[in-house]
Amino acid sequence: MEFSAEQIAGLLNGEVVGNPAITVSTLAKIEEGQTNALSFLSNSKYEEFIYTTASSICIVNKTFEPSKALPETLTLVKVDDAYACFAKLLELYNNMSKKQPKIEQPSFIAESAKIGSDVYVGAFAYIGENAIIGNNVSIYPNAFIGDNVTIGDNTIVHPNASIYVDCKVGANCLIHAGAVIGGDGFGFAPDENGEYQKIPQIGNVILEDNVEIGSNATIDRATMGSTFIRKGVKIDNLCQIAHNVEVGQNTAMAAQVGIAGSAKIGKNIMIAGQVGIAGHLSIADGTIILAQSGVPSTIRKKTIVMGTPAIDAEEFKKSYFGFRKLPYILSKLRELEASIKSLTKE
């Protein structure tokens, strides 16, 4: 589908500088621009590319003033916030490419399942007994929806994702390929012979509204009760959330985060990649945990932490500076020891 510069400016409340009739039919990074492509510039580090880009239209901030001649084929759309406006266009583009309502065959939908209006179900998808699927939901091929699962309106479940029995997914959620919602928690107890016996996991997982789960992320069902992922939480690819964890509203975590059982993660927390969080602890609202940190105990007040075990980030940096100087310090210590021995002999 084609859009003219004039139409784009209308959508974004922007101003056209150049040819308002020029059209675009694809999107491209400004450094990889091509004819009929739409790009954007918001970071001054990339300004050099706007003078050579082959894109037909570029969204820029109203404050942008070129320092040299722009390509004759380039039209600008000036807006208040180029990054936010381009994100808005990406969302529009994504919605336009969404699957149209359809039940593809072969797929399995249990007779007791309730399916809302305008739903897409891809080939080889499975929807179990008493499942409730809301309106405008998309379930892509090979997805598994277990018995008694509830999925809210406008949610998207991508290929090969699995939502186990009794789990609940809110509205406007996005579950990426290969994610597993509601697998068994890691519950075992050794018997008198030292052999591990499985503890049944009879709870579920509850995802509230506007949650996004990345590819191949896993969220374990509770032993009893529920594992909670609260409203607005964003979980990256390859994360592991253990049984009975609660992740607070609008918290975000990057790839390869692991959270052990029964941890309580507060609201508006940012967790960087490869962080490990021990079980049965709490983390205060607004905390930031930097990459590869290990959190072994409760964090009681909002702070920025890093390291293993995680401590205040500024304290860690000071400690790390000392650690880097350790070979020098040891060398000086040996010199002092040698000097002391020499003085003692004298």
Same domain, 308 and 181: yes
pLDDT band at 260 (very low <50, low <70, confident <90, very high): very high
Residue 296 sits in a domain whose CATH number is 2.160.10.10
Q: Are residues 110 and 237 in the same domain?
A: yes
User: pLDDT tens, 82-128?
Assistant: 999 999 988 887 777 778 899 999 999 999 999 999 999 999 999 99
Taking every pair of Cα atoms in the chain, the longest distance, rounded to a whole number of angstroms, is 98
Catalytic residue status for 176: no
User: Distances from the Cα of 324 to the Cαs of 193, 290, 321, 328, 338, in angstroms?
Assistant: 48, 20, 5, 8, 23
The distance of Cα 322 from the centroid of its chain, to the nearest Å, equals: 35
Asked if residue 232 has pLDDT above 90, the reply is: yes
pLDDT per residue over 1-14, tens digit each?
Answer: 789 999 999 999 99
Residues 154 and 44 grouped into a single domain: no
Residues 202 and 122 in one domain: yes
Q: Which of 309, 263, 267, 270 is nearest to 290 (CA)?
A: 270
Domain carrying residue 66: 3-96
The whole-number pLDDT of residue 345 equals 79
Pair (152, 227) in one structural domain: yes
Q: Residue 2's pLDDT is what?
A: 87
Note the pLDDT of residue 38. Answer: 95
- Whether 296 and 181 map to the same domain: the answer is yes
Domain identity same for 224 and 199? yes
Identify the pLDDT of residue 319: 87
Per-residue confidence (pLDDT) for residue 15, from 0 to 100: 96
* Phi, psi (deg, nearest 5) at residue 151: -125, 125
pLDDT tens digits for range 169-219: 999 999 999 999 999 999 999 999 999 999 999 999 999 999 999 999 999
Do residues 311 and 328 both lie within one domain? no
Residues 304 and 322 in one domain: no
Same domain, 221 and 292: yes
Q: How many domains does the chain have?
A: 3
The predicted structure's pLDDT at residue 92? 83
Structure confidence by residue, pLDDT tens digits, 71-84: 999 999 999 999 99
Which tens digit of pLDDT belongs to each residue from 21-68?
Answer: 999 999 999 999 999 999 999 999 999 999 999 999 999 999 999 999
Which tokens belong to 141? 């091929």
Catalytic residue among 158, 176, 243, 280: 243
CATH number at residue 91: 3.40.1390.10
pLDDT band at 294 (very low <50, low <70, confident <90, very high): very high
* Judgement on whether residues 165 and 240 belong to the same structural domain of the protein: yes
Q: Are residues 114 and 156 in the same domain?
A: yes
| pTM reported for the whole predicted model | 0.85
Query: Cα–Cα distance between 153 and 132 in angstroms, integer?
Result: 10
- As beta bridge partners, residue 283 has 265, 299
